[in-house]
A and B are shown apart, each in its own frame.
Chain A
């Protein structure tokens, strides 16, 4: 391939955490690295995964667990994927209907800002419904191999709710989430920006938790490519990672926020109101229809706090969730293969001076609100800490 003019097709889903990808292309960081990138907007993760797998895309904005599942051959075709750059950490939120919000608040024995209090309250609500013979609560998430699925499960199971027995979890495309909440098809959901804000703005939902309250660090989307492609195009890969590093820095500089917001809000990119994107980037979220705001500097980490450098401990945590919920068998080989998807070595080769650990961040790299610290070498111990599990 010509080293000065590489043409790339990259698929993405219109979500706020595609920010680094969009800015890398639209602000010219990719072109500065000699890359001619065509961004292709997609409507489903299945499409992104399949088009990446069969080579219609060179790279993609991908759910971190899909990159791992694809590499392990779980639930679908086995295609080894590498993730040399993290497109976002956190950024999801759990939103519930006004009725469920009121029920959880009434059943709580403390402040429901605390996820353990809210999860235990949910367990009481669930038990009461069961005793009355009512239908189980239904929660929407975006994909079987999604952070949203695991975040919902991790939270509710910590409070004693079995996500497979006590409630129903259903896959819903993000654009259908808000409608489904409004017409009662679901009682709550876990999804990324901007959909939680849309539900709050329409008065049909309350944001119960930011995912950053459940896990301080949760790898969300990655820049993914086929392992074979990465090996055939080592130079192009490094240039692509470098362009993304510049884009992430640019996004995180608050001086650029207006420009970044406008770029992301464009109709052929994310295509939502700039104000909603702005809230996400600022971590200032309206959480209730009455206008109550909750602020978190961790709401979505694009490049700050080492968020862009892939951490194999994150891959191990996601694999542990697949095992916990019966999606994958437990084996040392699969654990090693999962960790190998996240490639800090490629990140470091492209971006000099990255620190492996960031001061003030949790020692285990996860910072979960419940359970023991995560040890990426002993997934079995992580599983043993939980009574509600499938494995």
Chain B
């Protein structure tokens, strides 16, 4: 087992940071520190003294990290992953996934590549998770609106639940709309007429 790398994750999104940290730990990296407070970022990073810094591309503090290249007093001078242009495919994949890495010089390429690949896959799975969550949330909200619309129709027109739903569906088909949209119109109209 190679000596363990000290890795810092800079991410204001706690869920994504946790997913990434889990992945790194599973891969055998025990020294993982999460930073989610952006003030005094540089000072904190110097204190932690990491070998690798991972930061999401939505984070404006990326520009703060760039200052590390300038400070000659710092012993360790990390470089951005982009400096090694030999592996453009993985750089593009990283940018596409929304993550960037800063690496202290002297590390073996293969070890960095593993970490970067892990970041890319975790960032992508987080993005998928977020999409799924969004879809689930929308579906849940639509169902609530449809239930309310059904209730309104059942009461106002003395229909069974089944007939109320069939009416919504038929109207949606006729008007080329989604059932949830028609349901929302019913709810809105009912509120206006109340």
Could you list which residues of chain A lie within 8 angstroms of chain B, going by C-beta atoms?
Answer: 43-47, 50-51, 53-54, 56, 75-77, 142-144, 170-176, 180, 183, 185, 326-327
- Selecting from B36-44, B158-166, B173-181, B182-190, the interface stretch reads B36-44
- Contact partner of B85 (CB less than 8 A), chosen from A45, A51, A77, A326, is A77
Q: How far, in angstroms, from A157 to B60 measured CA to CA in the complex? A: 29
Within 8 A of A (CB), among B23-72: 38-40, 42, 57-67, 69-70, 72
Chain B residues, Cβ within 8 Å of A326: 72
Chain B residues, Cβ within 8 Å of A76: 69, 80, 82-83
Counting chain A CB atoms within 10 Å of each CB, the highest count among B40, B57, B58, B91 belongs to: B57
Query: Dominant SS at the B interface?
Result: helix
- Contact partner of A173 (CB less than 8 A), chosen from B57, B60, B100, is B60
Q: How far, in angstroms, from A75 to B82 measured CA to CA in the complex? A: 11
Would B67 and A170 count as touching, CB distance under 8 A? yes
Q: In the complex, which residue of chain B has the Cβ closest to the Cβ of A326?
A: B72
Q: Does B92 contact A (CB under 8 A)?
A: yes
Q: Does B3 contact A (CB under 8 A)?
A: no
Chain B residues, Cβ within 8 Å of A54: 82, 88, 91-92, 95
Q: In the complex, which residue of chain B has the Cβ closest to the Cβ of A43?
A: B60
Q: Besides A43-B57, A56-B92, A144-B67, 9 other CB < 8 A contacts?
A: A43-B59, A43-B60, A43-B62, A46-B100, A53-B82, A76-B80, A76-B83, A170-B64, A176-B60
Q: How many residues of B contact A (CB 8 A)?
A: 27
- Contact partner of A46 (CB less than 8 A), chosen from B42, B62, B72, B92, is B62
Would B63 and A171 count as touching, CB distance under 8 A? yes
Query: Dominant SS at the A interface?
Result: loop
Could you list which residues of chain B lie within 8 angstroms of chain A, going by C-beta atoms?
Answer: 38-40, 42, 57-67, 69-70, 72, 80, 82-83, 85, 88, 91-92, 95, 100
Q: In the complex, which residue of chain B has the Cβ closest to the Cβ of A172?
A: B64
Q: How far, in angstroms, from A54 to B83 measured CA to CA in the complex? A: 11
A343 to B: closest C-beta gap in Å: 25
Would A171 and B66 count as touching, CB distance under 8 A? yes
Q: How far, in angstroms, from A43 to B60 measured CA to CA in the complex? A: 5
- Cross-chain pairs A/B with CB under 8 angstroms, 12 sampled: A44-B59, A44-B61, A45-B66, A50-B95, A53-B82, A54-B88, A56-B92, A56-B95, A144-B69, A170-B67, A171-B67, A176-B38
Chain A residues, Cβ within 8 Å of B59: 43-44
Q: How far, in angstroms, from A277 to B67 measured CA to CA in the complex? A: 29
Would A173 and B91 count as touching, CB distance under 8 A? no
Q: How far, in angstroms, from A40 to B50 measured CA to CA in the complex? A: 32
Chain B residues, Cβ within 8 Å of A51: 95
- Contact partner of B82 (CB less than 8 A), chosen from A44, A50, A176, is A50
Q: In the complex, which residue of chain A has the Cβ closest to the Cβ of B79?
A: A76
Q: In the complex, which residue of chain A has the Cβ closest to the Cβ of B39?
A: A185
Chain B residues, Cβ within 8 Å of A43: 57-60, 62
B169 to A: closest C-beta gap in Å: 36
Chain B residues, Cβ within 8 Å of A171: 42, 63-64, 66-67
Q: How far, in angstroms, from A44 to B67 measured CA to CA in the complex? A: 13
A180 to B: closest C-beta gap in Å: 7
